[in-house]
Amino acid sequence: MESSQYDIAIIGGGILGLSTAMQLADRAPRWRVAVLEKEEDLATHQTGHNSGVMHSGIYYRPGSQKAQFCVAGRNNLVRFCEENEIEYQQCGKVIVAIEESELGRLQDLYERGTANGVPGLEIVGPERLKEIEPYTTGLRALWAPHTGIVDFTRVATAYAGKFQQAGGDIFTGAPVRKITRPGGSGGSLALETPKGILQAKHLINCAGLYADRIASMSGENVQVRIIPFRGEYYTLRPESHHLVSGLIYPVPDPQFPFLGVHFTRNIKGHVEAGPNAVLALRREGYRKRDFDLGESLGSLTYPGFWKMALKYWKIGLGEVYRSYNKRVFLRDLQRLLPEIKDSDLAGGGSGVRAQAVAKDGSLLDDFSILQGRDAIHVLNAPSPGATSSLAIGEHIAGLALENFGAPD
């Protein structure tokens, strides 16, 4: 770290930290901005382990930040991909009602998506569904032609490139281990990393799975805890790829829209089936056997964890059961794609979601971006965070411009 005095330090080189950095460099070129990333490469956690879906904005409560940022973010992202020659496909998505009892919720989703400004939504019958997804059967489906797929790691890397071209600094292999204020309150922050100490007047915390820790380290009284949930996927063997043309989803439980296994064709042409959602015993625990005593105790000693467990134990156990039982996973997949067989499925990857849980055990549903005295903390940015990355970065850059004062 040659020159270590900055106006703003952004912790986290995922898609949100990098989008914010790029937009700050554009809107406030006089500010000296640095990004600190603990890994040697950028975008290796949630950004590099997600489903790659550019959501169109159907599920989210009208007026919520998710609804606003997803719809605006998706449109901006499509433009960004076109301007920067990043491959994306607008393959469309079907949300399939299999039982009569799901038809009401399908109609609600149509109305919600329309209220959010999602274009082109249509409820289709079985014949049209067969034209879109020939191997899927259902009573009716919601067709969302604007949903697409992209490689979010490529997008994040492009944000990083633009930030650096504008003169911004990115330090990788630089985990922030301690944050102090050597000059007392009102003075600069000192961010300690193994590569040296970086001084910054302001902090933007985009640390994903560790955002609550960074917020506490900076002296914020954080009211939530990040609980990590691993999502595990199978992949379809190449000879079975023809079973899925685009994106096939079930009608979600409105309380848990992120649950419910689905099929996702990604931009590299692979088809993923999943994910489930099981408690991870390490924040970056991508394998079942990954365990960290301190981090597990951190979850288990949080009162909100037990309140959450009490509320949702049945659903949680179901997810764990499915995690260890391929037959159950397959049965759920067959609801959407009756022809799929055990032999079509090969082992797949996983991702870990950073889910903020409040002290009363409730799962934060919307994005949560907290404005502190000299810091901004992104405390909850689940899906569709990647789709929304340009809108979230724009929002954070706006907050910084409003609250951090002019550079010297």
Ligand X SMILES: Cc1cc2nc3c(=O)[nH]c(=O)nc-3n(C[C@H](O)[C@H](O)[C@H](O)COP(=O)(O)OP(=O)(O)OC[C@H]3O[C@@H](n4cnc5c(N)ncnc54)[C@H](O)[C@@H]3O)c2cc1C
| Cα-to-chain-centroid distance, residue 141 | 25
Distance CA 215, CA 260 (A): 32
Distance CA 230, CA 276 (A): 8
Query: Which residue number, 245 or 380, has a Cβ lying nearer to ligand X?
Result: 380
Closest CB 100 distance from ligand X, rounded Å: 29
Closest CB 277 distance from ligand X, rounded Å: 9
- The contacts of residue 231 (CB under 8 Å, 6+ apart) are 274, 275, 276, 277, 350, 351, 352, 353
Among candidates 241, 255, 260, which has minimal Cα distance to 96? Answer: 260
Taking CB under 6 A as the binding criterion, the range among 5-13, 24-32, 79-87, 249-257 that sits at the site for ligand X is 5-13
Phi and psi at 93, nearest 5°, equal: -140, 145
Taking CB under 6 A as the binding criterion, the range among 82-90, 104-112, 205-213, 324-332 that sits at the site for ligand X is 205-213
Closest CB 406 distance from ligand X, rounded Å: 27
Closest CB 310 distance from ligand X, rounded Å: 24
Binding positions for ligand X, 387-406, rule CB under 6 A: 387
Among 381, 390, 391, 396, the residue binding ligand X under the rule CB under 6 A is 381
Contact pattern for ligand X over residues 83 through 122, marking x by CB under 6 A: ----------------------------------------
Contact between 148 and ligand X by CB under 6 A: the answer reads: no
Strand order in the sheet with 148-150: 53-54, 148-150, 88-89
**Residue type, position 93, single letter:** K
Contact between 12 and ligand X by CB under 6 A: the answer reads: yes
Closest CB 18 distance from ligand X, rounded Å: 7
Taking CB under 6 A as the binding criterion, the range among 103-111, 195-203, 293-301, 378-386 that sits at the site for ligand X is 378-386
- The contacts of residue 344 (CB under 8 Å, 6+ apart) are 236, 237, 240, 243
Contact pattern for ligand X over residues 157 through 196, marking x by CB under 6 A: ------------------xx--------------------
Contact between 384 and ligand X by CB under 6 A: the answer reads: yes
- The contacts of residue 235 (CB under 8 Å, 6+ apart) are 270, 271, 272, 273, 345, 346, 347, 348, 349
Closest CB 104 distance from ligand X, rounded Å: 26
Closest CB 352 distance from ligand X, rounded Å: 6
Contact between 38 and ligand X by CB under 6 A: the answer reads: yes
Contact between 246 and ligand X by CB under 6 A: the answer reads: no
The pair of structure tokens assigned to 353 is 């979601």
Q: Which residue has the tokens 């950028």?
A: 42
What is the DSSP track for 78-140?
Answer: HHHHHHTT--EE---EEEEE-SGGGHHHHHHHHHHHHHTT-TT-EEE-HHHHHHHSTT---SE
**Residue type, position 372, single letter:** G
Closest CB 280 distance from ligand X, rounded Å: 10
Taking CB under 6 A as the binding criterion, the range among 125-133, 209-217, 235-243, 297-305 that sits at the site for ligand X is 209-217
Contact between 14 and ligand X by CB under 6 A: the answer reads: yes
Q: Which residue has the tokens 């088809």?
A: 271
Among 8, 10, 34, 36, the residue binding ligand X under the rule CB under 6 A is 36
Taking CB under 6 A as the binding criterion, the range among 21-29, 37-45, 300-308, 325-333 that sits at the site for ligand X is 37-45
Distance CA 320, CA 313 (A): 10
**Residue type, position 104, single letter:** G
Contact between 369 and ligand X by CB under 6 A: the answer reads: no
Contact between 55 and ligand X by CB under 6 A: the answer reads: yes
Please report, as ranges, the residues that interact with ligand X according to CB under 6 A: 11-17, 36-39, 43-47, 49-53, 55, 175-176, 206-210, 214, 231, 275, 351-353, 378, 381-387
